[in-house]
């Protein structure tokens, strides 16, 4: 990028990509499950065959990343080793083996006038994925979109641009060999940030935008997009230990939710404890947290019981730490817990631990989140754990897809009406 | 409106309405079907009991409309007679009698680790409806949203502001009497256009925007909104008369699609005729159109066959006339027809007339529209005709709802996970 690219050039590049994707999507929509699977397997082979090329491009990104002073954690996420390249290829083969989500008859009705109305699943069309860092998203997301019959336009992070370009090119080329029109998989080659602004307004070509990354990126996309966006900003997940909780279970599930993998969106961030059970629950809970080196930030009542805890600010209860830090609050009852979650939460995943079925029922109905749990860990909010076979993301929105999104959520539907000459009276 | 309202005042008014709606929606989501139906019946009675008040407000609107020089057609749509008030009340009673869309178990799966995952339909939350002209939309839309457990914020046209305010107030008051919190039905009292801009950015309160009106209004909403929007811009519906069509059926369905009610979105705007059947089809077709006083605008080939026809411009093929004007084009074959529809159409409703099952199949798969027809009139694209019992609108989008939207499309879902202490390994 020696010379600055103009806005008009960006617009032109993206318009061309959009048109190509739209054309490719029409052809993709007509492919049989076998045809699509052949493409996916061809792509898996192509990834393996291009391992050398991929690693060369990846080395460029790593070198630039080091020069830019990326953290070791970031560099690790960026690196493509032989094992990771192999894993991407295997991922495509797994996707090929899944049930095809397109062409399913979702409902069928014959009306009194004799017309038969079938509701049938179809691809969405063109999907735009905006993501940061890990280059494997290029392959994973493209594979899932293609399996559901969609063309995909990818926009990756600038740190991985060389790796991403080689990967996308490799997939698209393999698609063409397997019979797809050019353009089923495209990656935006323009690193400039303005490209995202142009992309999310191309509603004449793109049907859905899925942004994956930090809250700032996602908010910017939502603010600008004229295309439907499916997203989750963050995961401020709660566990409520009810007055009638089994203490052992509550401690075990809390530990799992907070400590098993604190850096993910379905990990716990806030614990709510019924004051009726605080005396019994808190000692074993604190022991478990100490063992795991978790920093506790409590409200006044909790800090009175646990003097080593820090005081939690109002802001803490809105915060997704994605770290070994835990907000804790003692609440008077179930309805206070529900109110807290609906107010401070992110509508992602929230759990109640109780042996009282009535309280469980009220919690599960009253908490307005994509996934609610009774006596299980919030860590299960995941497409694979839900038996979807794959996951393209998690939605905390209420339209189209809510909770984990698998292949089914990458489809739309159409109504097909069969008549014998019927007209409207 | 003697003094101009400030942007800050508008913001404050709408923020308060949003908060009220969100609170109301949480209570609404917990109501039983019976509770909701009681509300709807109470509202129906309230509309009847307030007929005098409604007509007084409506007279103000009619007077202002006449002074502003509204057309007679517009004034007619604005007017609320005793019969129309009665019809609104009856509409609410019909909605009460429909099947409740909330709380349905959409799927259920037990995972190998023993957790049971139910996918259950829930209300969306708060729905914003933006509409023009007819005040009955206030009542119809509110009734459907409430039945699906949603709070509603309505924004009507300025010509109907007095009528709409009385209607919304009447519904909300009846809801409160029947046990709803204040705020289940609210109408934006600010006529100023800036209110729409504020409304469509209140994504902290509103989950879905449904705009109903002209293309200009809808495009402005999509451009500004940070809330998901479900819409259709227009209905450029096509009928393709295939080489293997039954001529009588083709003429009859064409006449129905174009002439039975030309002013609606599912009426035909463009006819495509296979050149192989043009000689046989066109004479009876032209006779039928003449009888109905339809102006024909054809491509070169059609105009050669029908010298009385006008020449169609490129623009004509993109146009929704909603009038007795018809674009006609002779096409070489089925794939040219599909290509034309996907390029010029609006993805609303398109039909093929043919006795050839293979051609029908290719058309139904290849045309990328919300509803596709084989040997039936496009005029059936309608929630009632589809057996949904009601219709809140039609979507040409591919996310969440496509085609006619009934009560089911006014719901979302959540995952409810039942465990016995499971944690993630």
Q: Mean pLDDT over residues B393-410, rounded?
A: 96
Best residue in A417, A418, A420 for a mutation probing chain B (most B CBs within 10 Å): A417
Best residue in A414, A418, A420 for a mutation probing chain B (most B CBs within 10 Å): A414
Residue in B117, B372, B422 nearest the CB of A386: B117
CATH architecture classification, A7-231+405-417? 3-Layer(aba) Sandwich (3.40)
- Residues of chain A contacting B145 with CB distance shorter than 8 Å: none
Residue A181: what pLDDT?
A: 84
B371 and A417: CB-CB below 8 Å?
Answer: yes
Tokens 């698209």 locate to A172
For chain B, give the mean pLDDT.
96
Q: Is the pTM of this model over 0.90?
A: yes
User: How many Å lie between the alpha carbon of A413 and the closest alpha carbon of chain B?
Assistant: 7
Q: What is the pLDDT of residues B142-193, one digit of tens each?
A: 999 999 999 999 999 999 999 999 999 999 999 999 888 899 999 999 999 9
A260 and B424: CB-CB below 8 Å?
Answer: yes
Whether the per-residue pLDDT at B133 is higher than 80: the answer is: no
Q: How far is the C-alpha of A38 from the C-alpha of B251, rounded, in Å? A: 44
Domain boundaries, chain B: 7-231+405-417, 237-380
Per-residue pLDDT of chain A (425 residues; tens, 9 = 90+): 457 899 999 999 999 999 999 999 999 999 999 999 999 999 999 999 999 999 999 999 999 999 999 999 899 999 999 999 999 999 999 999 999 999 999 999 999 999 999 999 999 999 999 998 789 999 999 999 999 999 999 999 999 999 999 999 999 999 999 888 899 999 999 999 999 999 999 999 999 999 998 899 999 999 999 999 999 999 999 999 999 999 999 999 999 999 999 999 999 999 999 999 999 999 999 999 999 999 999 999 999 999 999 999 999 999 999 999 999 999 999 999 999 999 999 999 999 999 999 999 999 999 999 999 999 999 999 999 999 998 999 999 999 999 999 999 999 999 999 999 999 99
A222 and B223: CB-CB below 8 Å?
Answer: no
Best residue in A23, A145, A399, A400 for a mutation probing chain B (most B CBs within 10 Å): A399
User: How many Å lie between the alpha carbon of B400 and the closest alpha carbon of chain A?
Assistant: 4
- Residues of chain B contacting A253 with CB distance shorter than 8 Å: 421, 423
Whether the per-residue pLDDT at B268 is higher than 50: the answer is: yes
Q: Give the gyration radius of chain B's Cα atoms.
A: 24
Give the residue from A200, A152, A157 showing the smallest Cα distance to A24: A152
Residue of A nearest to B251 (CA): A421
A386 and B109: CB-CB below 8 Å?
Answer: yes
B412 and A424: CB-CB below 8 Å?
Answer: no
Residue in A226, A257, A398 nearest the CB of B412: A398
Residue in A30, A373, A397 nearest the CB of B366: A30
Residue B143: what pLDDT?
A: 96
Residue of B nearest to A338 (CA): B26
Q: What is the pLDDT of residues B75-102, one digit of tens each?
A: 999 999 999 999 999 999 999 999 999 9
SS (H, E, C) chain A: CCCCCCHHHHHHHHHHHHHHHHHHHHHHHCCCHHHHHHHHHHHHHHHHHCHHHHHHHHHHHHHHHHHHCCCHHHHHHHCCCHHHHHHHHHHHHHHHHCCCCCCCEEEEEECCCCCEEEEEEEECCEEEEEECCCCHHHHHHHHHHHHCCCEEEEECCHHHHHHHHHHHHHHHHHHHHCCCCCCCEEECCCCCCHHHHHHCCCCCCCCEEEEECCHHHHHHHHHHCCCCECCCCCCCEEEEECCCCCHHHHHHHHHHHHHCCCCCCCCEEEEEEECCCHHHHHHHHHHHHHHCCCEEEECHHHHHHCCCCEECCCHHHHCCCCCCEEEEEEECCHHHHHHHHHHHCCCCEEEEECCCHHHHHHHHHHCCCCEEEEEECHHHCCCCCCCCCCCCEEECCCCCCCEEECCHHHEEEEEEEEEEEECCC
Residue A132: what pLDDT?
A: 85
Residue A1: what pLDDT?
A: 47
Give the residue from B287, B282, B273 showing the smallest Cα distance to B305: B282
Q: How far is the C-alpha of A179 from the C-alpha of A293, rounded, in Å? A: 54
More confident residue, B132 or A410: A410
Q: Mean pLDDT over residues B382-411, rounded?
A: 95
Tell which CATH classification among 3.40.91.10, 3.40.50.300, 3.40.309.10, 3.40.1410.10 matches the domain A237-380.
3.40.309.10
Q: What is the pLDDT of residues B286-335, one digit of tens each?
A: 999 999 999 999 999 999 999 999 999 999 999 999 999 999 999 999 99
- Joined together, the tokens standing for residue B417 give 């996970």
């Amino acid at each position: 990028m020696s010379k600055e690219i103009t806005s008009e050039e960006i617009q032109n590049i993206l318009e061309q990509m959009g048109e190509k994707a739209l054309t490719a999507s029409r052809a993709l929509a007509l492919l049989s499950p076998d045809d699509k699977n052949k493409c996916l397997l061809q792509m898996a082979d192509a990834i393996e065959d291009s391992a050398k090329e991929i690693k060369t491009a990846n080395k460029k990104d790593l070198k630039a990343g080091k020069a830019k002073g990326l953290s070791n954690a970031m560099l690790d996420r960026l690196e493509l080793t032989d094992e990771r390249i192999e894993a991407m290829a295997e991922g495509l083969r797994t996707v090929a083996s899944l049930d095809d989500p397109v062409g399913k008859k979702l409902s069928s009705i014959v009306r009194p006038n004799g017309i038969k109305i079938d509701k049938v699943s179809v691809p969405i069309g063109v999907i735009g994925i905006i993501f940061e860092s890990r280059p494997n998203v290029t392959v994973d997301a493209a594979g899932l979109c293609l399996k559901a019959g969609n063309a995909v336009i990818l926009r990756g992070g600038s740190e991985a641009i060389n790796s991403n370009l080689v990967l996308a090119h490799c997939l698209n080329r393999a698609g063409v060999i397997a019979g797809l029109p050019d353009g089923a998989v495209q990656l935006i080659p323009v690193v400039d940030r303005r490209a995202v602004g142009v992309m999310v307004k191309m509603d004449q070509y793109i049907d859905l935008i899925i942004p994956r990354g930090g809250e700032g990126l996602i908010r910017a996309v939502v603010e600008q997009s004229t295309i439907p966006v499916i997203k989750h900003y963050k995961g401020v997940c709660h566990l409520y230990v009810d007055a009638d909780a089994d203490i052992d279970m509550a401690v075990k599930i809390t530990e799992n939710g907070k400590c098993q993998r604190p850096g993910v969106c379905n990990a716990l961030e806030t614990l709510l404890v019924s004051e009726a059970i605080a005396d019994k629950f808190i000692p074993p809970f604190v022991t478990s947290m100490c063992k795991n080196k978790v920093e506790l930030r409590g409200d006044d009542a909790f800090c009175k019981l646990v003097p080593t805890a820090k005081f939690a600010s109002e802001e803490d209860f809105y915060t997704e730490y994605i770290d070994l830090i835990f907000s804790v609050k003692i609440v008077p009852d179930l309805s206070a817990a529900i109110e807290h979650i609906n107010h401070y939460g992110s509508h992602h995943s929230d759990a109640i631990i109780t042996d009282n079925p009535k309280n469980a029922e009220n919690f599960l109905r009253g908490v307005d989140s994509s996934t609610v749990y009774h006596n299980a860990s919030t860590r299960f909010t995941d497409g694979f754990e839900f038996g979807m076979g794959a996951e393209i993301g998690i939605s905390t929105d209420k339209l189209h897809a809510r909770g984990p999104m698998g292949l089914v959520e990458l489809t739309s539907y159409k109504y097909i009406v069969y008549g014998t000459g019927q007209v409207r009276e």
